[in-house]
Amino acid sequence: MLYQAEAYIVNWIGRLPDITITELAEHLKKTPSACSQIVRKLVDKGLVIQERNPQNKRIYNLRLTEEGQMAYRDHVAFNEYCQRITFDM
C-alpha cells in the first residue's frame, strides 16, 4: 500500500531517475527532511534505492527498484484512466 505522498515521490523518481532528495524537495515544495523521511519509508518497502553519487559522495541519487518500477507504471496507468473518465464526462 502506498500513501499519496509516497506515490508522488515514486512518480518523480520514475520520471527523473537519479534525482536527489534536494531536487525532489524543490519539485514537491517540501523540506528535504520531509522528503528524506518518505524516501526512507519507500526504501524500507523495497521500492527505492539510494546510491552515492560518484562525483560527490555527500549526495545520494534515487532510483526505483523493479518493484518500484511496477508501482510507477501502475500509478501512471491509473492517472491516465482517471483522466479518460474525466474527459469523457
The residue type at 75: H
What's the Cα-to-Cα distance from 26 to each of 30, 67, 80, rounded to whole Å? 7, 25, 25
What's this model's pTM, rounded to 2 decimal places?
A: 0.87
Q: What is the mean pLDDT of residues 16-29?
A: 96
The residue type at 59: I
Report the chain's mean pLDDT, rounded to a whole number. Answer: 94
Q: Quote helix, strand, coil % in the chain, to nearest 5.
A: 65, 15, 25
More confident residue, 73 or 1: 73
Measure the CA–CA gap between 72 and 3, rounded to whole angstroms. Answer: 13
- Indicate whether 88 pLDDT > 90: no
